[in-house]
């Protein structure tokens, strides 16, 4: 049952909804001219409203989480402490709301990640102009964020599925938002078509799982909570084929959302065609949300089918994921080699990174509960670092694309002489993606390799480590273009404030979390 007292626990989501509606309606109060000046004004106001609003939501969520400041029990009672106390009473902990929405540390941390990513994305959008209806553009970003927040907390099938749709539909629209640009339109359409296919597959898997659970319930009369992950896990522990099939379809359906090979084919096209800030958003927040939902789905719904990634006869979903991770890491990295478009190259790089993240899921096969927790920590750490880095990289690329007129490798040439700070910021992101210490990317990789190794997937770790050599090669091509190759055009590239701020957040985050990873690991460990 949904209680009124549950509302504070859903506060970030509610605030997001309010913000989305506000942004949607904010257009009304603006000048409705068709002149470029009027349109620009509308863009600016919507964008700043979004950025400020998301910043406030993030602040409230941070305060609520209590990770940075936790109100002591003995604090004096006054107006401010009451506000904080009430907020933090809705913080992590307690039973899932109405059995549908878990409000544990995992949800809280993932919310912070997602809202943070949305904030950075909105900063990136400050200087990239959407078409004549800016309100809708930004509102869709917030709606999608809301969907992701629901996704990471989803504790039952209906909400999980609806949250995925709530996330995806705005993203389809956003990817195809620039209708004058055929690439963008095509990206939107493709994203939608494949999203529909994968949703169908996912839904099919879910219905099979539900059916298997119904079968396991036997003569019990109450089916009401049978869509919850853990209930299905309880009732299907002993049943064989049907639930296996359900698991496979769910993995395949989620595999699409995460762009895991061989379900990845849409992503390079969509990443290339979508407006670059949206690409950044799709490749980070939506992927992170997908991984967390997949984690919940697999560990709660299919605990009896964990199996082992060592590829012996145990099978299970870790074995399936191990094979997918292998394909993803190898094909993602190799297919990135011949790319000449930087966005496409980074798209393949994100595919490859998804393969690394899967290693964190494999840790669930470890014998010690201790190692499993390590796996989740490593996974979250990786997602954080990866999101920061990719937001930075795509953000820099958005600016470069806007100012040099394209995002091919040739447009990067001699960037260090056109705008050195921008080139340096981009470089830090690239090096972090390549996993060079002391940047966060290195520790994330190392940690997740370690976790994978402990889980028994040694063979996979070895291949993944070898593939990092290949990845370095194509990352270096970017660096080479920026620093070593001569520029074709020496007009300086300016660095506007919004994108500058976003890049600075990303780079500082990557640096600080690399040198002091404990800052975030101590929080992640609470999961």
Partner 1 sequence: MELILFLITALIAIVGAVAMLVSRNAVHSALFLLLNFAAIAVLFLLLQAPFLFTIQLTVYAGAIMVLFLFVVMLLGAEKVEDTPDRIAWQQPLALLLGLALLVVSVVVGLGGATNPPPESEALIQFSDPRTLGALLFTDYLLPFEVTGFILLIAVIGVVVLNQRGRKI
Partner 2 sequence: MELLIWLIPLLPFIGFLLNVFVIRRERTAGLVASGMVAAAFVVTLIAVGVLASMPPEERRIVSTAWEWINTGSFQVPFAIMFDPLTAVMALLITGVGALIHVYSIGYMHGDPRVVRYFAYLNLFVTMMLFLVMANNLLLLFLGWEGVGLCSFLLIGFWFERKTAGEAAVKAFVVNRIGDAAFILAMLAIFTYFGTLNFYSEGEGGALGFLERVGDIAGLRVGPNWQPIFVSTAISFLLLIGATGKSAQFPLFVWLPDAMAGPTPVSALIHAATMVTGGVYLMARTEPLFVASFTTQGWVTWIGALTALMAGTAAMAQWDIKRVLAYSTVSQLGFMVAACGMGAYVAAIFHLLTHGIFKALLFLAAGSVIHGTHDTQDMRRMGGLKDAMPVTFRTYLIGALALAGIFPLAGFWSKDEILAHAVGHGHTPIFIILFITSLFTAFYMGRQVALIFFGTQRDPSYHPHESPQVMTVPLIVLAVGAIIGGAINLPVLHWLTDWLEPVLHEQAGEFNLWLALIATIGAVGMGYLGWWIYTTNAAKIKIGGKDPIYRYSGDIWEGMAEAWYLDRLYQRTVVAGFERLSDFLARVFDPQGVDGLVMGVGRFFGGLANSLRAVQTGYVRTYALVFTVGVLLVIGFMLWIAR
Q: Which of 179, 215, 421, 512 binds partner 2 (CB under 8 A)?
A: 179
Residue 201 or 513 with smaller CB distance to partner 1? 201
Question: What Å distances lie between residue 67 and 11, 92, 362, CA to CA?
Answer: 16, 10, 27
Q: Pattern 368-387, binding to partner 2, x per CB under 8 A?
A: --x--xx--x----------
Distance CA 118, CA 123 (A): 9
> What distance in Å separates the CA atoms of residue 65 and residue 80, rounded to the nearest whole number?
16
Contact assessment for residue 438 and residue 396, using Cβ atoms and an 8 Å cutoff: no
Nearer to partner 2, 84 or 476 (CB): 476
Q: State the binding partner of 177 from partner 1, partner 2, none, CB within 5 to 8 A by kind.
A: partner 1
197 binds, among partner 2, partner 1, none (CB under 5 to 8 A by kind): partner 2
**Rounded least distance, CB 291 to partner 2, Å:** 18
DSSP string computed for 204-261: HHHHHHHHHHHHHHTT----TTTTBHHHHHHHTSS--HHHHHHHHHHHHHHHHHTT-T
| CA–CA gap between residue 360 and residue 291 (Å, rounded) | 10
What b/e readout covers 319-338, taking b as 16+ CB neighbours within 10 angstroms?
A: bbbbebbbbbbbbbbebbee
Closest contact distance (angstroms) between CB of 222 and partner 1 is 8
Q: Which of 190, 324, 168, 214 is nearest to 266 (CA)?
A: 190
Q: Which one of 55, 169, 485, 527 is in contact with partner 2 (CB under 8 A)?
A: 485
CB of 45: closest distance to partner 2 in angstroms? 29
d(CA 331, CA 142): 33
Give the nearest distance from C-beta 207 to partner 2 in angstroms. 16
Is 219 a binder of partner 2 (CB under 8 A)? no
> Quick one: 119 or 351, whose CB is closer to partner 2?
351
For the chain, what is the total number of helices (H) and then of strands (E)?
A: 22, 0
- Region 388-447 residues binding partner 2, contact defined as CB under 8 A: 431, 436-438, 442-443, 446-447
φ and ψ at residue 428, rounded to 5 degrees: -60, -45
Residue 360: contacted member of partner 1, partner 2, none (CB under 5 to 8 Å, by partner type): none
Q: Are 439 and 386 in contact (CB under 8 A)?
A: no
Indicate whether 196 belongs to the interface with partner 2 (CB under 8 A): no
Please, what is the minimum distance in Å from the beta carbon of residue 492 to partner 1?
A: 24
Bridge partners (DSSP) of residue 97 are 101
> CB of 189: closest distance to partner 2 in angstroms?
6
Which residue has 């953000």 as its token pair?
395
Compute the least distance from the CB of residue 199 to partner 1, in Å: 12
* Token duo for residue 232: 């299905």
If binding is defined by CB under 8 A, does position 132 make contact with partner 2?
no
CA–CA gap between residue 341 and residue 215 (Å, rounded) = 51
Contact positions with partner 2 (CB under 8 A) in 454-483: 454, 461-462, 465-466, 468-470, 472-473, 476-477, 479-480, 483
Binding of partner 2 by 69 (CB under 8 A): no
Is 396 within 8 Å of 503 (Cβ atoms)? yes
Phi, psi of 261 (to 5 degrees): -60, 135
Of 319, 352, 361, 502, the one binding partner 2 by CB under 8 A: 319
Q: How many residues bind partner 2 (CB under 8 A)?
A: 88
Q: Which of residues 7-36 bind partner 2 (CB under 8 A)?
A: none
DSSP state of 284: I
Question: How many Cβ atoms sit within 10 Å of the Cβ of residue 154?
Answer: 26
Residue among 403 and 471 whose Cβ is closer to partner 1: 403
Considering only 224, 313, 369, 490, the residue that binds partner 2 (CB under 8 A) is 313
Q: What is the binding site for partner 1 (CB under 8 A)?
A: 1-2, 17, 24, 36, 39-40, 43, 97-101, 129, 131-133, 136, 139-140, 143, 146-147, 150, 156, 158-159, 162-163, 165-166, 169-170, 172-173, 176-177, 179-180, 208, 214-221, 223-225, 239-245, 248
- Using CB under 8 A, which residues numbered 71 to 130 contact partner 2? none
CA distances from 383 to 6, 150, 283, 427, 445 (A): 28, 18, 11, 20, 11
Nearest to 345 by CA among 476, 234, 444: 476
CB of 386 to partner 2, least distance (A): 17
Residues within window 264-283 making contact with partner 2, judged by CB under 8 A? 264-266, 268-269
Smallest separation (angstroms) from partner 1 to the CB of 220:
7
- Name which of 16 and 460 has its Cβ closer to partner 1: 16
- Applying the rule CB under 8 A, the residues between 233 and 262 that interact with partner 2 are 244-245, 248-249, 251-252, 255-256, 261-262
């Amino acid at each position: 049952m949904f209680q009124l007292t549950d509302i504070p626990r859903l506060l970030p989501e509610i605030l997001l909804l309010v913000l989305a509606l506000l942004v949607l309606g904010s257009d009304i109060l603006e000048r409705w001219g068709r002149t470029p000046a009027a349109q620009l004004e509308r863009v600016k106001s919507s964008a700043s409203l979004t950025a400020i609003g998301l910043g406030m939501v993030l602040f409230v969520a941070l305060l609520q989480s209590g990770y940075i400041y936790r109100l002591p029990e003995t604090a004096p009672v006054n107006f401010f402490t009451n506000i904080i106390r009430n907020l933090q009473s809705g913080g992590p902990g307690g039973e899932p709301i109405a059995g549908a929405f878990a409000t544990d540390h995992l949800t809280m941390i993932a919310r912070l990640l997602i809202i943070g990513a949305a904030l950075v994305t909105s900063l990136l959008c400050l200087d990239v102009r959407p078409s004549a209806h800016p309100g809708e553009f930004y509102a869709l970003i917030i709606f999608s964020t809301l969907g992701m927040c629901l996704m990471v907390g989803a504790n039952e099938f209906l909400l999980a599925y609806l949250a995925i749709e709530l996330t995806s539909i705005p993203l389809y629209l956003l990817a195809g938002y620039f209708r004058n640009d055929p690439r963008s339109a095509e990206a939107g359409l493709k994203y939608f078509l494949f999203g529909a296919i994968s949703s169908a597959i996912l839904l099919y898997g879910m219905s099979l799982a539900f059916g298997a659970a119904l079968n396991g319930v036997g003569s019990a009369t109450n089916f009401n909570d049978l869509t919850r992950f853990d209930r299905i896990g309880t009732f299907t522990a002993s049943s064989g084929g049907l639930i296996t099939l359900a698991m496979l379809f769910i993995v395949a359906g989620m595999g699409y959302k995460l762009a895991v090979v061989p379900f990845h084919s849409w992503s390079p096209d969509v990443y290339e065609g979508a407006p670059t800030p949206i690409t950044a958003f799709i490749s980070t927040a939506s992927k992170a949300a997908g991984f967390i939902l997949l984690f919940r789905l697999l560990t709660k719904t299919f605990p009896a089918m964990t199996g082992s990634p060592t590829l012996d006869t145990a099978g299970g979903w870790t074995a399936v994921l191990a094979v997918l991770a292998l394909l993803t890491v190898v094909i993602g990295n190799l297919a990135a080699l011949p790319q000449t478009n930087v966005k496409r190259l980074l798209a393949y790089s994100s595919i490859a990174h998804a393969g690394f993240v899967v290693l964190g899921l494999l840790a669930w096969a470890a014998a010690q509960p201790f190692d499993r927790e390590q796996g989740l920590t490593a996974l979250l750490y990786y997602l954080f670092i990866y999101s920061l880095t990719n937001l930075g990289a795509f953000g820099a690329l958005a600016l470069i694309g806007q100012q040099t007129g394209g995002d091919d490798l040739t447009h990067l040439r001699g960037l260090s002489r056109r705008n050195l700070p921008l080139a340096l910021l981009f470089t830090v992101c690239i090096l972090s993606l390549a996993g060079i210490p002391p940047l966060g990317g290195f520790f994330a990789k190392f940690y997740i390799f370690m976790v994978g190794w402990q889980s028994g997937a040694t063979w996979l770790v070895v291949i993944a480590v070898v593939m990092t050599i290949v990845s370095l090669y194509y990352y270096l091509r970017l660096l080479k273009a920026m620093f070593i190759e001569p520029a074709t055009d020496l007009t300086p590239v300016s660095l506007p404030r919004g994108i500058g701020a976003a890049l600075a957040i990303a780079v500082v985050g990557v640096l600080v979390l690399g040198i002091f990873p404990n800052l975030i690991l101590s929080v992640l460990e609470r999961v």
